[in-house]
Structure 1
Amino acid sequence: MKVIEKTPHKKTLNDGYHKFCFNWWRLLGMIVLFPLVYFWSKKYVKDFFTFTQTYQRSGLMTIDATTFDFNSFAVYQQDVIAKKLDQFNFSFSTEEIAAMKTATILNQHQDPISILYLQHSNSNKWVIGLHGWTENKYLGLRQVFYFYQQGYNVLTFDSVAHGLSGGNYTGIGYLNAQNLSDVIQWLQANYHPQEIGLIGNSMGAACLTKYLIDEGYQNPLVHWAVSDCGFSNLLVQFRYVMQYRYQHPWWLISFGLTKKFKNEIGFKLRKYNLLKQAKRLKDFPMLIFHGDHDDFVPYFMSKEFFTRKVKYERPGQSQLLSLLNVNHVEAISKGHQVYIAAIKAFLIQQERK
C-alpha cells in the first residue's frame, strides 16, 4: 500500500511538528481561500477516511508468491522472511508453535478480542505486544520474540477492527486502548503476573501510550514500555499524511476532518493527543525508538513526546533512541543490533530497581 506520494525533506521529518499546526497565516489563508478549501476538503477528507479504514482483516494473503491465511501463524513466518529477520533467527521452534494458545475474550462492550499467548512453565513475567495499523496478532509476535527468548511469557491480540477482534472501524489505537486495559485485567485474573511490560510499534506504540496516560500509570503491575515509531498527536499525524499523500498543503484539504471521524467513529481526533498528559508518566520508564528517515510517522512525533515527558522525570529514566537512515518500523530489522542492545540494557536497568 502506497501511503505517501513524495517523501518530505529530512528537516520536516525531524523538526516539522509545528508545520502541521495552525498559525495566523494558515488561518488567514484558509479564510481567504475558503471556497477552494471547502471543495477540496469534501473530496480529500472522504477519500482519506476510506483509506484509513481499508485493509485486510481475513482471507488469503500473498507475500513473495506464497499464499496463506492472513489470520494464521504463516503470516508471521512470511513476514520474518520479507523483513529479513530470519538472518537473526527470529523463528519459533516447532514445540513453541504447538504450545501457542489462542482465545477470545470480551471487552467491556461485549465485543470479542482475539488473543494469542505463549508461556514458559516457570515464569510469571509477561510482555504484551501491540501490532501496527493493518496488521494482526500474529505480526505482533515479531515484537515479543526477543522477550520470549529472555524468559518472559508473551501475549498479542488483534486490535479493534483488525484480524478476528470486533469493531467496524479502527480508531488508529484510540479505541484499542480500552481493549488493552481489558486484556490486562483478563491476564491478572487468570495468570496472576508478577510484572507486565508493553511493546508496540506505530499504531500499537501510540495505543499503549494512550493506555498508560489514561490509567496504566496507576497499575503497579505494569512496569515499563517500549515504543517503536509511535505518533504523539493523531490529528497532526493525519495532516502530515494527507499533505504528502495528496500533494497539497494540509490546511487546504483537511477542513472537516475531525467532524468526519466524530460522525463515523464517535471520537474527536483532538482527544488523541499524547502530549497533553505526558506529565502523568513522570515515574514510568519508556524506551522509545524512531528512525530519522521515517516518512509515515515522522521522527518529530517521538521527539516531541519525549521532550515533553523528560521535563517531569528524573534523568535517565526514559530514553529516545534515534536510528539513522531507518524508515517506518525498520528498527527491528535494519537497526537490529542497536535495537536489541538497547532493549537488553533497558531491561537490566529495570531489574536493578
Structure 2
Amino acid sequence: MRRRALYITGILSGIFTTLITIFGILLTNKMMFLKPKNPDLIMRREILSRRFDEYWYETVRKDDMWIESPNGYRLKAVFLKPLETTRTVIICHGVTENKINSMKYARLFERLGFNSVVFDHRRHGDSGGKTTSFGYYEKSDLRAIVQAVRERIGKRALLGIHGESMGAATAILYAGTYEDEANFLVADCPFSDFTEQILHVLRLETPLRTAMVIRIGNLFLKMRDGYSTNLVSPREVVKNITIPVLFIHSMEDDFILPYMTEELYEAKIGDKMLKLFQKGAHAKSYNDNPYQYELTVQEFLGRFGFSQ
C-alpha cells in the first residue's frame, strides 16, 4: 500500500511539475516574444493620421546609423538633421511599435529647435535581438545609442531623451543606472514597476490574479532570459537621476495607470515637472492633445534653461 501511495504521489508530482513547466514557458513566451505590430500597419496609421509626412522624410537631411549593442546585436537608428544645430533628442518608442511611431515627436522637437535620432529597440523594426525585456536589456542599448550620438554632436552639445511607454521606462532605467550623458529627459506614460504592471495586465485581461503567477514566471524568465521582473523597476532608480525630467501621462490611460507616473514624479529628486492630460488613452497624450503637449515640452525646456 505504501509503495502504491509513493507511486501515485510520484505521478502526481510529475504531472504538477509538467503543468508548471508548460505554464512557465507559455507565460514567458508571451513576455519575451510579444509580437510587434506590422510595420506596414504602423506606417499606414501614421500617414492617415498625418503624423508622418512621407515627403518630409524622403527629403530631410539624415544619416542611417548602425550601432553595436553591448548585448550582441546591431541597433538601427536614423539621425534626422533638418536644422543646422547640434541640439539633439533621442526618441524611444514603446513596445510593439517602431521608429516610424517616433517621427511625430521628431517633428515636434524640430519645431523647438532640435534634430533627432529615432531608433528601433531590440527585436523591433530593423534592429537585432531575440527577446523583448521591457527595459532590462534595452537600457544598455540606449546607453550605446547615447554614446554614439555624443561622439557625433560633441560633449558640449545639448542632448535630450524622449521616451513613450516602454521607451519612457527604458529612458528612466538608463538615466538612473548609468552616469547621465544626456541633459534632460521626457518620460511619457512609463510604468513605475514592471512586476506591478504585469499583475495589472493579468488582472485586466485574464482570470490569473495572484502574485504566484509572477513567481513562477520569474523562475522561468531568469533561466531563459537572464533577469527577473523585479530588476525592471524605474521606481527604484529614478531617485538617482540628476538631470531635469518632464513626466507626462493621460488620466484616461487604463493600461499603464497614471498613478505610476505620479509615483515616479514624487520619487524624483531635484528638477522635475509633471503634466497630466485629462484626455487620451495609453500613449495617446500627444495624439489627442498635440498643441498642449508641445506647449508643455516648450515650457519644460524654458523652465530649466534649454530653450533656444
User: TM-score normalised to the size of structure 1?
Assistant: 0.74
- The match for 1:204 is 167
Residue 80 of structure 1 deviates from its aligned partner by 2.4
Q: For 1:81 and 1:120, how far apart are their aligned partners in 2?
A: 20
One-letter amino acid of the counterpart of residue 333, structure 1: N
8 A contact 1:159–1:173 mirrored in 2: no
| Mapping 1:200-349, distance limit 5 Å | 200-217=163-180, 219=181, 222-251=182-211, 253-281=213-241, 283-309=242-268, 312-313=269-270, 317-349=271-303
Q: Deviations over 1:151-209 (max 9, x none)?
A: 21110111112122121111012211111111111112233261101101000000000
Rounded Cα–Cα distance in structure 2 between residues aligned with 1:173 and 1:267: 11
Residues 140-219 of structure 1: pairs in structure 2 closer than 5 A: 140-192=102-154, 194-217=157-180, 219=181
Over 3 Å counting, the alpha-carbon distance change for 1:145 and 1:120 in structure 2 is: closer
2:58 alignment partner AA: I
The answer to whether the 8 A contact 2:135-2:232 is kept is no
CA distance in 1, matches of 2:213, 2:130: 26
Name the CA shift for 1:100/1:326 in 2 (closer, same or farther; >3 Å): same
Alignment RMSD: 2.5
Distance in 1 of aligned mates of 2:215 and 2:17: 7
Could you list the structure 1 runs, at least 4 aligned residues long, displaced by more than 4 angstroms after superposition: 37-45
CA displacement 1:262-314 (0-9 Å, x = unmatched): 11111121111122233212x321111111221211112112111212xx32x
CA contact (8 A) 1:120 1:151 kept: no
How far the C-alpha of 1:62 sits from its partner, in A, is 5.0
- Number of residue pairs the alignment of both structures matches: 289
Q: Hey, which of these two has a bigger chunk of helix by percent?
A: 2
Determine the C-alpha separation between the residues in 2 that align with 1:103 and 1:305.
32
1:202 partner amino acid: S
Shift in Å, 1:50: 2.4
Give, in whole Å, the separation in 2 of the partners of 1:304 and 1:341: 23
Cα deviation for residue 346 of structure 1 reads 0.9
- Residue 124 of structure 1 and its aligned partner are, at CA, apart by 0.5
Q: Work out which of the residue numbers 19, 30, 55 in structure 2 matches 1:51.
A: 30
Task: Kindly provide the amino acid, as one letter, of the partner of residue 277 in structure 2.
Answer: L
2:247 counterpart SS class: strand
CA–CA distance in 2 between the matches of 1:275 and 1:191?
A: 31
Residues 168 and 188 in structure 2, CA contact (< 8 A), matched pair in contact too? yes
Would you say the 8 A contact 2:47–2:53 is kept in 1? Answer: no
Q: Which range moved further: 197-206 or 318-327? A: 318-327
The percentage of counterpart residues that share the same residue type is 20
Task: Encode CA deviations 1:27-59: one digit per residue, 9 max, x unaligned.
Answer: xxxxxxxxxx999976655433222313137xx
What is the CA distance between 1:238 and its match in structure 2? 1.0
The code of the aligned residue for 1:210 comes to L
Instruction: Kindly name which structure, 1 or 2, has the bigger radius of gyration based on alpha carbons.
Output: 2
SS of aligned partner of 1:270: helix
Distance, in Å, in 2 between the alignment partners of 1:119 and 1:239 is 41
> Contact 2:52/2:103 (CA < 8 Å) preserved in 1?
no
Does residue 94 of the first structure (1) align with residue 55 of the second (2)?
yes
Q: Which has the higher contact order (CA 8 A, sep 6+)?
A: 1
